[in-house]
């Protein structure tokens, strides 16, 4: 729980994604037809929060170990951010593939 509190307290992106999670998880459970659709709508959203926390942890460790700029430190931070981005793409893809045909 202290990790969740730290993420909420120190990471603006985590707060934004947590607020989206509060909206999207109940919505996904409501609009999903059957267990598999509900899992496909909810799981990626929760994974975004998990990977955001891991990304924030990587950034904190990198800043602690190497406060000055280093190519490897920048690469580690960029790769963590890329992981979050790819999961956000997965969220959009899952929601679009499942709900898109119903709405259009």
Residues noted as catalytic: 52
Distance CA 85, CA 77 (A): 12
> Could you give the CA distance from residue 99 to residue 39 in angstroms, rounded to a whole number?
13
Give the list of residues 6+ apart from residue 10 with CB closer than 8 angstroms, or none. Answer: 56
């Amino acid at each position: 729980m202290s990790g969740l509190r730290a993420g909420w307290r120190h990471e603006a992106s985590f707060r934004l994604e947590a607020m989206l999670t509060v909206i999207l998880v109940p919505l996904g459970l409501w609009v999903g037809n059957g267990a598999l659709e509900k899992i496909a709508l909810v799981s990626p959203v929760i994974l975004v929060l998990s990977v955001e926390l891991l990304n924030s942890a990587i950034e904190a460790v990198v800043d602690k170990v190497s406060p000055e700029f280093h190519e490897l430190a920048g690469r580690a931070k960029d790769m963590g951010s890329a992981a979050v981005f790819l999961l956000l793409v997965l969220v959009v893809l899952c929601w679009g593939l499942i709900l898109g045909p119903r709405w259009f």
